[in-house]
Amino acid sequence: MNNQQLTDEFSGLRVALVHYWYVRQRGGERVLDVLAEMFPQADIFVLLYDPAALSDAARGHRVRASFIQRLPWAKKYYPALLPLFPLALEQLRLDDYDLVISHEAGPAKGVITRAGTCHLCYCHTPMRYLWDMYHSYRQSAPLGALGRSLYALATHYLRQWDYASAARVDDFAASSENGARRIRKYYGRKSEVIYPPVDVSAFTPAESHEEFYLVVSPLVPYKRVDLAIAACNLLHRPLVIIGDGPARKDLERVAGPTIRILGYQPAAVLRDHYRHCRAFLFPGEEDIGLTPIEAQASGRPVIAFGRGGATETVFGAFSHTSDLEQATGLFFNEPTPQSLADAILKFEAIEGSFAPGVIRAHAEQFDKRHFVARMRDFVSRKLAAHRAITRLPETPMVICR
């Protein structure tokens, strides 16, 4: 179904898209951009945003922010404002919309809608820092013991709000089976899996590759870029890291002479590195992860931590099959530098078995067109079901005397 048909199907709807924050272009923002293309009439609601970060797709919509947008230095220090997020979301006025699609990795689903509004949530994961990675985040909180205590107190109440706000959603879609398991565990809700969109056509394999390994990631602790650095230090392998973030200085301190941290790079530079890397390293546990898909769309194999979303996007040698002809990468099993280093050596021993054409073909299943078709079907079905329920006649009340 093309964009015109999508527009025709949903043209009569008043639609709101609710995102957490839009301060840079990352995977979540790319998903929002596709939703914005699907619903050209939609208004976009966010906790806060940086106008300079908005894509062309987002700029074509009216963007409304919460009161957090007006707070001093909010764009830089918004993670510290986490306790204000529930209040900010609940102040967003969504009374006039027939359909609300919240997009969740940070808080977004906590908006309040009227009973006649169909509220669907596309959820990558319940907030990591409240649930499955809570102890890791608490341990790394600033200000030592005081910071850890304040973090524990704030997240205790936020966790209750997050669980309660899941009841405000009519239906969930998850971006992975991994995310669906978390939604079921922490919210007690079922969800349909719709893999996120990647513009596979934007990536192409090269005829040859170079000797460097590649990481593309925000530089934050849970992404475990430190593992990739430590493993390549051990092996004296060249590693290029594209991305920026608060952990950059710490990573630069431990990076050896074979490591280059390039910071943020434009799309053309990023695509060129994907095409020419020896392999792509994905050392953290992610909900799904778009970068391994982009690397595979470029025909390059992926060496990934064998937990989380990567197990759904990478066809691992020695994991899924003994036939290397269909493999698109391999996994390491322990979150340690030595385990990753061993996987790199194992990869190098079988490197000639990986076929760029096979890897690229595997990535095609995650192409943007599949997301659009599945999301359109999901929205159509759930909206029809919601309308059927809300239009049911009320049962007459019988008063017994």
- pLDDT 10s digit of each residue in the chain, 401 long? 455 555 567 778 999 999 999 998 888 899 999 999 999 999 999 999 999 999 999 999 999 999 999 999 888 888 889 899 999 999 999 999 999 999 988 799 999 999 999 999 999 989 887 888 778 778 877 778 887 888 888 889 899 999 999 999 999 999 999 999 999 999 999 999 999 999 999 999 999 999 999 999 999 888 999 999 999 999 999 999 999 988 999 999 999 999 999 999 999 999 999 999 999 999 998 888 899 999 999 999 999 999 988 999 999 877 655 567 789 999 999 999 999 999 999 999 999 999 999 999 999 999 999 999 999 999 999 999 998 887 655 444 444 44
Architecture of domain 3-197+367-390: 3-Layer(aba) Sandwich (3.40)
Sign of CA dihedral 243, 249, 254, 256: positive
Bridge partners of residue 65, in order along the sequence: 46
Architecture of domain 201-364: 3-Layer(aba) Sandwich (3.40)
Distance CA 243, CA 17 (A): 27
**CA 335 centroid distance within chain:** 21
The DSSP code sequence of 30-78 is: HHHHHHHHH-TT-EEEESEE-GGG--HHHHTS-EEE-GGGGSTTHHHHG
- Round to the nearest angstrom and report the end-to-end CA distance of the chain: 58
Total number of residues shown for the chain: 401
Q: Which helix (H) or strand (E) holds 241?
A: strand 239-242
Name the residue among 27, 16, 11 with its Cα closest to residue 217: 27
Q: Which residues of 37-46 are buried (b: 16+ CB within 10 A; e: fewer)?
A: bbbeebbbbb
Specify the pLDDT at position 8.
62
Q: In sequence order, what are the residues at sequence separation of 6 or more whose Cβ sits closer than 8 angstroms to the Cβ of residue 287?
A: 105, 124, 125, 175, 176, 178, 179, 182, 308, 309
Q: In sequence order, what are the residues at sequence separation of 6 or more whose Cβ sits closer than 8 angstroms to the Cβ of residue 234?
A: 337, 338, 341
Distance CA 106, CA 324 (A): 38
Q: Is 84 exposed, middle or buried (0-12, 13-18, 19+ CB in 10 A)?
A: middle
Distance CA 314, CA 5 (A): 33
Specify the pLDDT at position 130.
81
Distance CA 140, CA 256 (A): 24
Domain with CATH 3.40.50.2000 in the chain: 3-197+367-390, 201-364
Q: In sequence order, what are the residues at sequence separation of 6 or more whose Cβ sits closer than 8 angstroms to the Cβ of residue 150?
A: 141, 143
Specify the pLDDT at position 372.
96
